[in-house]
Chain A
Amino acid sequence: MKEGLVPATAARMVQRHRLSTRLWHWANVLLLYTLFTSGLGIFNAHPRLYWGQYGANFDHAWLELDRFPGWITLPALYNLAMSRHWHLTAAPILIVSLLAYMLWSLGNGHIGKDLLFRRGELAPAHLWRDVKDHVRLRFPRGEAALHYNVLQKTSYTAVIFLLLPLVILTGLTMSPGMNAAWPWLIDLFGGRQSARSLHFLAAFALMVFFLVHILMVLLAGPLNEIRSMITGKYRLPEEGR
């Protein structure tokens, strides 16, 4: 009875996300949105994908699509030059901001403290429990909510250290100028057309991450989550129950 007198609103407000993370997060919203939609506009100029060094209309395409519709391309009306202007303006900003974020997060301990896997986290039993919790939509409460769980760590590290570098390097591999500057790019990805295919796949992998990410925010309490990414303040879900 005495315990019941404690109001439910006494939930603790804590500082959740660092400034570097919040800035980079919203920069990515703009950049990835621009890059994805303008990228689809560029893809529409030749909606076929190949493996290897070369690939044109008479060669075998592993994927051939219709043009993406105007509501998801930038600009809405097909205009290869404008799509390229948007894409090639946003791309260098994405590279610089990713590098800055990596260095800043290394410096302030974000990578070491929050993103690196702890001992035992990758053990099958622990992984399985985390998967089950996710599927049952049982989100961590109390102190546990202040740390990324293993699936979060996996997806965030995959995006930061795998998908974004992959999408950037395959993008550069498509540039004939960069091929002359950094010939190893072509060898790394097995050809310009392979790089173009990987660029497309990496972009859609990022889109899948985005959709799951949005879903998780909606399920975990969108207002609290979005506020924590704007001001950094986060209402800690109570323990127990």
Chain B
Amino acid sequence: MTLLLSRRALVLGGAVTLAGCDRLASNERVRDTLFSAENFHKWAQRSLMRRDALAHEFRPDQISPFFRANGTANPNTPEYKTLWRNGFTDWRLRVSGMVDRPLSLSLAQLHAMPHREQITRHDCVEGWSAIGKWRGVPLSLILNAARMSSRARYIVFRCADDMGNGNAYYESIDLIDAFHPQTILAFALGDQPLRVANGAPLRLRVERQLGYKHAKYLMGIEAVESLSGIGAGKGGYWEDRAGYDWYAGI
């Protein structure tokens, strides 16, 4: 009886305190404090690592038997379907924004550029991980080819998947990650052309951050000075929509 009562008291107590936490979190100042932990983690991690510190690269025998896809499995827009039917021969990656030489790159042109191959671990914000072998063009080569302005501070990635109400998925990273040697625009996974579920024809790999930063179905990249005018201004679809951290190193 007493055990039952105390269990109920514990449950009730827990629920009341947690409800208190929820109420606390609806307070603007508390929310701001909770959301600013991101800045601490970004500062701490960037202080602890070299600018070009590499994400761990794995051996071929450590690759996941099946690389799980998440988020959009197929953009399914009429435009994307048309591109897909033609084997993405009409697809172009537009490089624009604060660049002296805007580019429009075909898949064949990307294939002709120098590649990097890396076996890395993909960490979803949900908690699961999958290891895969990626091949693609270092983003730095493309930004240098487009002669990015020295005033640019972020790279924005525009995607083909419509998340509803005409909002396309987008993401952004700063220049530290944009010029990191493992940051590539990948067109192959496991020695095969990227499957639709994994982001065909081209996706971002930004290996020191969580999965939602790795934008799939790339259509364009844009060099910008500030993220404030884009979407709701938080730097990415899930950042705008669900309050995910823009810096996803943890």
Partner of B17, one of A33, A48, A180: A33
Stretch in A20-28, A51-59, A119-127, A132-140 with 4+ CB within 8 Å of B: A51-59
Residue from A45, A89, A176 with most neighbouring chain B CB atoms (10 Å): A176
B208 touches A74 (CB 8 A): no
Q: Which residues of B contact A84 (CB under 8 A)?
A: 125, 244-245
B171 to chain A, nearest CB (A): 15
Identify the closest chain B residue to A90 (Cβ): B37
In the complex, which of the residues A45, A59, A72, A180 contacts B49, with contact meaning CB atoms closer than 8 Å?
A: A180
Q: Which residue on A lies nearest to B40, using beta carbons?
A: A92
Q: Which of A58-92 contact B (CB under 8 A)?
A: 58-59, 71-76, 80-82, 84-86, 88-89, 92
Q: Among B22, B38, B62, which residue has its beta carbon within 8 angstroms of that of A54?
A: B62
Residues of chain A lying within 8 A (CB to CB) of residue B14: 37, 71-72
Which of the four size classes fits the interface of chain B? 35 or more
Contact B127 A46 (CB under 8 A): yes
Complex Cα–Cα for A55 and B238 (A)? 23
Q: Answer whether A56 and B250 are a contact pair too, CB < 8 Å, given A80-B125, A179-B55.
A: no
Residues of B63-118 whose CB lies within 8 A of A: 64-66, 68
B130 at the interface (CB under 8 A from A): yes
Q: Which of A75, A174, A179 contacts B22 (CB 8 A)?
A: A75
Please state if A43 and B127 are interface contacts (CB–CB under 8 Å): yes
Bound Cα distance from A192 to B128, whole angstroms: 9
With both chains docked as a complex, state the minimum distance between the C-beta of A15 and any C-beta of chain B, in angstroms. Answer: 31
CB contacts (< 8 Å) of A57 on chain B: these are 68, 128
Residue tally, chain A, CB below 8 Å to B:
44
Return the chain B residue nearest A41 by Cβ.
Answer: B18
Residue of A nearest to B247 (CB): A177
- In the complex, the chain B residue whose C-beta lies closest to that of A181 is B49
A176 pairs with B68, CB closer than 8 A:
no
A177 to B41, CA, bound (A): 9
Contact: B208 with A180, CB < 8 Å?
A: yes
Contacts of A55 in B (CB 8 A): 128-129
Q: How far is the CA of A72 from the CA of B17 in the complex (A)?
A: 10
B128 near A86 (CB under 8 angstroms)?
Answer: no
- Which B residue's beta carbon lies closest to that of A57? B68
**Given the complex of chains A and B, what is the CA–CA distance between A72 and B11 in angstroms?**
8
Considering the chains assembled together, what is the distance between the CA atoms of A147 and B134 in angstroms? 59
The contact of B45 among A33, A178, A183, by CB within 8 Å, is A178
Q: In this assembly, does B145 line the interface, its C-beta being within 8 Å of a C-beta of chain A?
A: no
- Scan residues 128-178 of chain B and give those whose CB is less than 8 A from a CB of chain A: 128-131
**A115 near B: Cβ within 8 Å?**
no
Could you tell me the distance in whole angstroms from the C-beta of A51 to the nearest C-beta in chain B?
A: 12
Q: Give the residues in chain B near A183, CB-CB below 8 Å.
A: 56
| B residues near A73, Cβ cutoff 8 Å | 18
Cβ of A236 under 8 Å from chain B: no
Given A74-B21, A178-B250, A179-B55, CB of A85 within 8 Å of CB of B35: yes
**Which of A56, A74, A76 meets B64, CB within 8 Å?**
A56
Is B204 an interface residue, CB under 8 A from the partner? no
Confirm or deny: B19 has a beta carbon within 8 angstroms of a beta carbon on chain A: yes
Chain A residue at minimum C-beta to C-beta distance from B243: A81
CA distance A180 to B123 in the complex (A): 13
Partner of B130, one of A45, A56, A176: A56
Chain A residues whose CB sits within 8 angstroms of the CB of B27 once the complex forms: none
A74–B18 CB distance below 8 A = yes
Q: Separation in Å of the A38 CB from the closest CB of chain B? A: 9
Give the residues in chain B near A174, CB-CB below 8 Å. Answer: 123, 127, 250
Q: Which of B19, B121, B126 contacts A53 (CB 8 A)?
A: B121
A-contacting residues of B (Cβ < 8 Å)?
11, 14-15, 17-19, 21-22, 25, 33-35, 37-38, 40-41, 44-45, 48-49, 53-56, 58, 62, 64-66, 68, 121, 123-131, 207-210, 238, 242-245, 248-250
15 contacts between A and B (CB under 8 A): A37-B14, A42-B127, A53-B58, A54-B121, A54-B130, A56-B124, A56-B128, A58-B65, A72-B14, A80-B125, A81-B245, A82-B25, A84-B245, A174-B127, A176-B55
Q: Which 8 residue pairs of A and B lie closest in terms of their CB atoms, listed nearest first?
A: A177-B249, A181-B49, A175-B250, A46-B127, A45-B126, A56-B128, A56-B68, A177-B45
Apart from A54-B64, A71-B11, list 12 A-B contacts with CB within 8 A.
A37-B14, A54-B62, A55-B128, A71-B18, A74-B22, A75-B25, A80-B125, A84-B244, A88-B37, A175-B45, A176-B123, A176-B207
